[in-house]
Structure 1
Amino acid sequence: MIRRLTTLTLAAALGVSGAGFAASAAPPSSAAPPVFVDGHGLTVVSQPAWVGANERTFVFTVRTPHVPAYSVMEGQVSGDHVIMVTLPEGYAESTARYPVQYHLHGHPDRPNTVANLRLFEETTAGVPLITVAPNGSGRGWYTNWVDPPAALGPQNWETFHLDQVIPFVDANLRTVPRRDGRAISGHSMGGFGAFHYAEHRPDLFAYVGSFSGGLDLLSQEQRAAVVATTQLAGSGTPTVPVDAIFGVPIWPLDGVWNRESPAQHVASLRGMGVAMYTGNGGDMTVNPVQAIVENRAWATNVVTRDHLIASGIPHTFIDYGDGSGWAEGCTGKHAELPCLLADMNHFVDLLMATLTHS
């Protein structure tokens, strides 16, 4: 049975959920969060500290040579990578191991926002699941960049997340450190990242989920959206050249764009749980920017669905249209928190029916 969620009125615009909050010192009587140890190429800059009143979620900061600096948004420190983790209730008193869901934020969001805190805690209440949200920068696009600017150094986001963060989390928390105990999901840019990572490393994940992800890099509209993120100061400063991430987006120099497009490369997802969630933008005269962004994301999801069907790969495709039948307060537009809560609520139920857990 799908768990019921309280309707929330907080909505994010284009993936922006507000500035990241700082960790606060826990009251003296509270249990301390876990202590993390350097490893797998990561250096712990700040130890876990609770956020929120439930003492389930903490944030900590690491540094990595794979992304030694990055374009920063307000409140960020270049090179400092904040990671937010939500633990199951009773983690400290238990000896059990738990499956992990890695969730990738959208553009130009960040992991440690009030909206993401509510998204993770409310959808996993009473669920034996750890959620990990790593920093992906405002424009990281969850890939190893083709030509990063020298001022930033390497932008190997994929290597950072898959080869460092995952084994680092397994080493520091009581996880089920296997494919059958691990899933990946993401919203918008993060939905692209989730499919991108799952297709590249199917050995790591038993389930993949995209919430309004931009999944088709062959789409000229999607390419324009990615290019736009390189030039928007709101995505982080400094801005970067248009070809820094995936190379030149124009034929015949667009080989990386074609190769890294999730929609056309679904074959490696065979045997993995696959889920996609998207609205169609609803009433285009209301909040038209959010409506158009969601409608174009919907189009990339339809292309991906068609490739999954052609490949004979079972999947869940939730097209909730204008949102009226999906969740109260959801109008089918991009980055609406009521829509995302319903997406995540449904996806967590799929995970817990599949992943190994206590």
Structure 2
Amino acid sequence: MRPLLTGARSRFPLRAKTAAAATALAALTVFAGPVAHADAPSIPSFTNGYGLTQVSGATEVRSATDFTITVTSQQLSGQHKIRIFLPRDYAADPGKRWPVVYFLHGGGGTVDDAAAAPALRSDSAITVVPDGGLKGWYADWLMQNTAAGAANWETFHIGQVVPFIDTNLRTIADKGHRAVTGVSMGGYGALHYAESHSDVFGHVASLSGGIDFGMPAVRGAVLATELNLTGAWCAVSTSSSSGAGQCTGYGPYVDSDAIFGSPYPVLNADHIWNEVNPAAPANLAKLAGVDVTLYTGNQGPIDNFTEIAAQNVKSGLDKLGYPSRLVDYGNGSTLASTCDGGHNYGCWAPAVADYMSHLRGAFTTTS
């Protein structure tokens, strides 16, 4: 791959920036949660629909309020998990409906990373953690014929998972009671989804997100995942730092143009990157009326960049006159004893706890 061309003001060497960022049952059955023995916890029944088919025998039931279903979709190759945390009173109060929080994991991660943020187990809301792929980037990929196969992640999440959850669980199915949040790659996904689907999500939080595609380092992080260049992003954007998982890479190598097309900023070749850039003024303008929160530290080769990206987004929202909340916890000392200001769940877990507390009030005001 030839070196990335340069613009008038800043050089964009692909290898250097990428390295910096890398361092830096049966189909038609009604599913009742297969259980192996009579005293296993009972979970809600789910009916296939919206293009999702549950995989028989693949459900993981940890408790009546913590379980994972596995589905297939023509939008994606393979099988994909959806982990769900229910409020403890969900079964005991069958007439009550609940707000929903969607949590999007980071690159190289899985739905089980959510266990590293205990506050996601809320008694005030249902939490849904859909698979986002090792490098899905919460996008409908430009290329569908790569080693990753079909990869329409945005369509899967917005067109399938959201209505599937609203149909099968007792949700309050309006934007005022639906939030999306995520870390790292998922931080990008959360803000992108809130911008592109402001009729779906009324609340959004990005934690250490790659939310400014105008920054070479952020583009480099995406390219690192496409090329499966493991490094710091992979090691700490999962819950491995909390002992709950291990990032083993981003899956098979795919072309560097596979997700968003050419990253080269010349002759509008990078137009898709610009169109989906969360920091672009046109996209920020779509957040009118959306409750926006941004979290970031500033330590290490990664959050050094996510702080800049968060500040750029905050500045753009301020110029539009849109209220938003930026929690820049710097070296972490003001957030929690577990936080070093870096790109890890030692910081994200307490940030999620802060956000879930914020949401309790935000959901109440939209009731």
Q: TM-score, normalised by structure 1?
A: 0.82
Does residue 235 (structure 1) correspond to residue 249 (structure 2)? The answer is yes
Does residue 246 (structure 1) correspond to residue 260 (structure 2)? The answer is yes
Work out whether residues 136 and 142 of structure 1, in 8 Å CA contact, stay in contact via their aligned partners in 2: yes
Whose helix fraction is larger, Structure 1's or Structure 2's?
A: 2
Shift in Å, 1:351 = 1.2
Q: 2:321 aligns with which of 300, 307, 312?
A: 312
Q: Deviations over 1:19-73 (max 9, x none)?
A: xxxx99576334311121110010111464322xx54210010001111x2xxxx
Gaps of 5+ in 1: 1-13, 15-22, 70-78, 282-290
Q: 2:271 aligns with which of 237, 243, 255?
A: 255
Shift in Å, 1:125 = 5.4
Question: What does 1:251-330 correspond to in 2, within 5 Å?
Answer: 251-252=266-267, 253-264=269-280, 265-281=283-299, 291-330=300-339
Code of the residue aligned with 1:59 in structure 2: it is T
CA distance, structure 1, for counterparts of residue 192 and residue 356 of structure 2: 20
Work out whether residues 149 and 240 of structure 1, in 8 Å CA contact, stay in contact via their aligned partners in 2: no
- Structure 2 counterpart of 1:34: 44
- Structure 1 counterpart of 2:176: 180
CA distance, structure 2, for counterparts of residue 303 and residue 124 of structure 1: 28
Q: Deviations over 1:289-321 (max 9, x none)?
A: xx1111111111111111111111101100000
- Structure 1 counterpart of 2:84: 85
CA distance, structure 2, for counterparts of residue 123 and residue 303 of structure 1: 28
CA distance, structure 1, for counterparts of residue 208 and residue 75 of structure 2: 28
Work out whether residues 102 and 129 of structure 2, in 8 Å CA contact, stay in contact via their aligned partners in 1: yes
Give the length in aligned residue pairs.
Answer: 311
CA distance, structure 1, for counterparts of residue 363 and residue 166 of structure 2: 16
Work out whether residues 323 and 339 of structure 1, in 8 Å CA contact, stay in contact via their aligned partners in 2: yes
Q: Deviations over 1:68-117 (max 9, x none)?
A: x2xxxxxxxxx11011000001211112110000010001111124xx22
CA distance 1:210–1:26, shift in 2 (3 Å): farther
Code of the residue aligned with 1:156 in structure 2: it is N
CA distance, structure 2, for counterparts of residue 43 and residue 319 of structure 1: 41
Structure number with the bigger relative contact order (C-alpha 8 A, sep ≥ 6) is: 1
- Structure 2 counterpart of 1:44: 54
Code of the residue aligned with 1:136 in structure 2: it is G
Shift in Å, 1:206 = 1.1
Work out whether residues 202 and 291 of structure 2, in 8 Å CA contact, stay in contact via their aligned partners in 1: yes
Does residue 133 (structure 1) correspond to residue 141 (structure 2)? The answer is no
Shift in Å, 1:146 = 1.1
CA distance 1:271–1:158, shift in 2 (3 Å): same
Q: 1:169 aligns with which of 162, 165, 172?
A: 165
CA distance, structure 2, for counterparts of residue 254 and residue 207 of structure 1: 29
Q: Deviations over 1:309-353 (max 9, x none)?
A: 111110110000000111012110101x23112111111112111
Question: What does 1:188-207 correspond to in 2, within 5 Å?
Answer: 188-207=184-203
Q: Deviations over 1:162-213 (max 9, x none)?
A: 0000000011111111111200000000000000011001000110000100
Secondary structure (helix, strand or coil) at the match of 1:185 reads strand
CA distance, structure 2, for counterparts of residue 211 and residue 195 of structure 1: 10
Code of the residue aligned with 1:327 in structure 2: it is A
CA distance, structure 2, for counterparts of residue 126 and residue 187 of structure 1: 18
Shift in Å, 1:124 = 4.7
Q: What is the RMSD computed on CA atoms of the aligned residues?
A: 2.0
Secondary structure (helix, strand or coil) at the match of 1:309 reads helix
Code of the residue aligned with 2:83 in structure 1: it is M
- Structure 2 counterpart of 1:211: 207
Shift in Å, 1:238 = 2.0
CA distance 1:171–1:326, shift in 2 (3 Å): same
